[in-house]
Structure 1
Amino acid sequence: MGSIDKYIFRTTLASFVVVLVSLTGVIWITQALRGIDLMTSQGQTILTFLGITSLAIPVLVLIISPIALMIAVSHTLHKLATDSEIIVMNAAGLSPFRLFRPFLYATVVVALLVAFIAAYLAPDGMRRLKQWDAEITADVLANVLQPGRFAQLDPNLTIRIRERQPGGQLAGIFIDDRRNSNERLSIIADHGTVMKNDQGSFLILEDGHLERFETGKREPAMVAFDRYAFDMSKFSNRGHDVVYGIRERYLWELIAPDEKDPLVQQLRGQFRAELHDRFTAPIYPFAFAALTFAFLGSPRTTRQSRNFSMGAAIAAVFGLRMAGFALSVMTVKSPMAALLQYLLLFGAIGISLRVIIAGIVLEPPAALMEAINRSNARILRLLRKRPAFA
């Protein structure tokens, strides 16, 4: 790799990293704000909140990476064109395809990153997210017990808490336990905390009293306590069996799914669509980079506008991605749609490479530019005729 290649390669990858981190960070924050109730209403810590929301970052990176690469290639080409470096390289005998080579190197790096995320990292993060979410939602003390509400955990068990305090402490606890047909327990405690160990989950009640109404006795037995452990293991162990969806499956699980899996039998078309989405994910960076370079990589003088080329590149990339989404949805019902998706991607790459190798400069038709200029002139005349406000 020569000095020019290294310069363009470093510039493109640096721009890619900046754009990727910026876009991912913005989208992650907007998504994370939706789960802010995890801390407020369910008593989870900030570390739990950040840990859960960050597990979705690989999925965001998977979607954003091709777009970030397109922006990075556009930025690098614009920088080279502004400094007249593309014209100098072309005058020195550097063909457009030769100039495309360092961009291709950068695209290979991005494609490998996308392939790894699609095959392992994204589904692994989604698996952990689902496991973590199942543990939280299965924890009745964190999810079901809401301040000021009577929660009926069992037909004969009712619990109410007055409020949640910092540090996970529960205040104003009332328990009505009628699960034993021979007695009825009523427990009132000033406050309590949750404790989990190898024996199970317990609600540790402090500063309260217990009333036991036994069958056949007229007076209840009342006991004051400083500390009392109420077993909640039966309720906090719910939902630990997690069934992974399609997006939580690794690539090799999509290639050779278990035919006995009920989910595979019910959603075979969606498994097929997800498999082809994983396969096409690393192809999109090549398509986006080739399309962008085909529109912006040709040498132009400073008098030639690049606005049309930039807009056309954005429109082509956007159209290609939207067509990919549409064909992915159609793949659920028709396997031929997956073939069309591959033909579309490789066709876009092939046409772009043909334009780059031939050195074709993609410019708008002269008639279109004349129509735009006439329209702009008409607008300027109308603006000049408008009376100025005093």
Structure 2
Amino acid sequence: MSRYDRYVLSRLLLFFGFFALILVAVFWINRAVVLFDRLIGDGQSLLVFLEFSALALPNLIRMILPMAVFAAAVYVTNRMQGDSEITVMQATGTSPWRLARPPLVFGLLAALMMSVLTHLLLPASISQLSAREAEVAQSISARLLSEGTFLHPVAGVTFYIGRIDPDSTLNDIFLSDRRDSDQSVTYTAERAYLLRDGERANLVMVNGMAQLQDNHEHTLSTTRFSDFSYDISALLPSREPGARSLREVPTIELLTRGSDIARDEGFNPGKLAEELHLRFARALICVAVALIGFSTLMLGGFSRFGVWRQALLAFVLVILLEVLRGLVSGPVLADARLWPLVYLPTFAGLAVAALFLQIAARPPALRLRRQTRVRETAA
């Protein structure tokens, strides 16, 4: 690799890190606000919030990494054209194809990073995040032990605790169960205790009253009790044993046991094929967007007004590639044998970049035609 290649590659990596850091910070803050409100509001500690944020980072980085690659390629190319560095290189006889070597290497490095992310880090983080979410959902103290707040653990159930004593005694209990359309039950009690028995959780209410309302007969009956046990296990959403998201499945397992996974875990074969090949396509798209960002700006020569038209064209092309990815998703989901369509946006982007580099190279035939037109105009 020449000194010029190392120089351009270092600048691309530098601004890639800068744009990636900015984009991750912006997206992370937007999501962290919602996550913080949900976890802290449910009684979780700050440590749990930081753990969930860290586990969500690989998926966040996966989304912004191609954008950072594209932004770095456009910015560095624009700066080099503004500083006449590319003009000097072209004046020495260097072709746009030769100048595209650093962006190509940069795209390959980004593709390598994306591969590690999608094949290793992302499935592991999603699996761990799902396990931690299940633990939090099973935590009674996080879901139900919140005093002075009307909670809705599941649809049709309202739970309220007036005060919680230091010895975990619950005071001034209100529990409304409206899940049955035929009747609804409301429980009130002076005190209550939470008891765990393996996977079961019971709320033992003391000195209370149960009000049963018949929605068909429009009658209300009341029953007073000195103690009453209410099973609240159903109020805590549980994860079915063995159930997992397709994004949790490691790539090596998708490659070697794809048919078994589709049969045993009930996954759609088209969805399984799309997920597998999309992990490879996400890495390759980094190469395409890097070359599009570079080649599109190479179409314009030096101008005092900059290359904003070419930059806008590059941005539109990247959007069109994302639209194309959405269009090919439907056929692949319907028929797993159409999995090559997943790579269509990548190859389309590479073809557009090659076309723009060829135009920027101005082959001799085009030069001859241009010189002929100039002579005819002068005559």
**TM value normalised by structure 1:** 0.70
- Counterpart of 2:273 in structure 1 is 272
Partner in structure 2 of residue 319 of structure 1:
320
Q: Provide closer, same or farther for how the CA distance between residues 141 and 350 of structure 1 changes in structure 2, counting only shifts above 3 A.
A: same
Confirm or deny that 1:49 pairs with 2:49. Answer: yes
- Taking the TM superposition and a 5 Å limit, the aligned residue runs for 1:57-72 are 57-72=57-72
Cross-structure match for 1:332:
333
Once residues 126 and 66 of structure 1 are traced to their aligned partners in structure 2, the CA distance between those partners, rounded to angstroms, is 20
- For structure 1, the residue ranges without an aligned partner over 5 or more in a row are 177-185, 204-208, 212-219, 223-231, 362-390
Relative to 1, partners in 2 of residues 1:313 and 1:164: Cα closer, same or farther, differing over 3 Å? Answer: farther
Partners of 2:277 and 2:286 lie apart in 1 by 16
Deviates most, 281-290 or 52-61? 52-61
Distance 1:108 1:12 in 2: 12
Alpha-carbon deviation of 1:94? 2.1
Q: CA deviation at 1:310?
A: 0.9
Q: Please state how far the C-alpha of 1:247 moved relative to its aligned partner.
A: 1.4
* Conservation of the 8 A alpha-carbon contact between 2:247 and 2:275: yes
Alpha-carbon offset, residue 111 of structure 1: 0.4
- Indicate yes or no: 2:349 matched with 1:348: yes
* Shift, 1:101, TM fit: 1.0
Question: What corresponds to 2:290 in structure 1?
Answer: 289
Instruction: Write the letter of the residue equivalent to 1:128.
Output: Q
Q: Distance in 2 between matches of 1:150 and 1:97?
A: 63
> Displacement, 1:124?
1.1
Asked whether the 8 Å contact 1:12–1:72 carries over to 2, the reply is yes
Distance, in Å, in 1 between the alignment partners of 2:200 and 2:336 is 49
Alignment RMSD (CA, Å):
4.1
State the SS of the aligned residue for 1:43: coil
- Kept in 1, the 8 Å contact 2:262–2:269? The answer is no
State whether residues 170 and 191 of structure 2, in contact with CA within 8 Å, keep that contact through their aligned partners in structure 1: no
CA contact (8 A) 1:73 1:289 kept: yes
| Residues 161, 65 of structure 1: alpha-carbon distance in 2 compared, 3 angstrom cutoff | same
Amino acid corresponding to residue 95 of structure 1 in structure 2: S
Partner secondary structure for residue 124 of structure 2: helix
Moved more, 324-333 or 83-92: 324-333
Find the residue that maps to 2:302 and give its secondary structure: coil
Match of 1:27 in 2: 27
Cα 1:164–1:2 shift into 2, 3 Å: farther
Q: Is the 8 A contact 2:262 2:272 kept in 1?
A: no
**Structure-2 change in CA distance of 1:261 and 1:322 (3 Å):** closer
Q: Give the whole-Å Cα distance in 2 for the aligned partners of 1:120 and 1:239.
A: 24
Which deviations, in whole Å up to 9, do the C-alpha atoms of 1:269-328 show, x marking residues without a partner? 211111121121111011111212221135722347512211111111110111112212
Cα distance in 1 between the residues matched to 2:151 and 2:34: 26
The structure-2 alpha-carbon separation of the partners of 1:238 and 1:2, relative to structure 1 and needing over 3 Å to count, comes to same
CA contact (8 A) 1:70 1:289 kept: yes
Shift of 1:352: 1.7
Separation of aligned partners in 1, 2:67 and 2:167? 42
Partners of 2:262 and 2:268 within 8 A in 1: no
* CA distance in structure 2 between the aligned counterparts of 1:168 and 1:48, rounded to whole angstroms: 24
Paired position in structure 2 for 1:135: 135
SS in 2 for 1:274: helix
What is the TM-score when the length of structure 2 is the normalising length? 0.72
Q: Which amino acid aligns with 1:292?
A: G
Is 2:69 aligned against 1:80? no
C-alpha displacement of 1:32: 2.2
* Equivalent in the alignment of 1:15: 15
1:66-215 aligned within 5 A: 66-147=66-147, 161-163=161-163, 172=171, 188=191
Using the alignment, how far apart are the partners of 1:151 and 1:4 within structure 2?
A: 62
- Distance across 1 between alignment mates of 2:206 and 2:342: 68
Q: Which runs of 5+ in 2 are unaligned?
A: 176-188, 208-224, 363-379
Kindly tell me: are residues 337 and 317 of structure 1, through their superposed partners in 2, closer, same or farther at Cα, counting changes over 3 Å?
farther
Match of residue 180 from structure 1: none
Q: Answer yes or no: is the 8 Å Cα contact 2:300–2:310 preserved in 1.
A: no
Q: Distance in 2 between matches of 1:311 and 1:21?
A: 23
Count of residues in Structure 1 that have an aligned counterpart in Structure 2: 326
- Identify if the C-alpha distance between structure 1 residues 173 and 51 changes in structure 2 by more than 3 Å, giving closer, same or farther: farther
Q: Deviations over 1:335-360 (max 9, x none)?
A: 46532342442243134224325534
Partner Cα separation in structure 2 for residue 238 and residue 65 of structure 1: 34
1:2 aligns with 2:5: no
C-alpha distance in structure 2 between counterparts of 1:274 and 1:291, whole Å: 25
Q: Secondary structure at the match of 1:123?
A: helix
Change (3 A) 1:352 1:95: same
Is contact 1:294-1:352 (8 Å) kept?
yes
CA deviation string 1:80-117 (max 9, x = no partner): 01111110111122221221111112111110010111
Please report how far the alpha carbon of residue 138 of structure 1 lies from its aligned counterpart in structure 2 after TM superposition. 1.2
CA shift in 2, pair 1:244/1:105, >3 Å: same
**2:58 and 2:125 in contact (8 A); partners too:** yes
CA distance in 2, matches of 1:33, 1:221: 44
Matched letter for residue 133 of structure 1: E
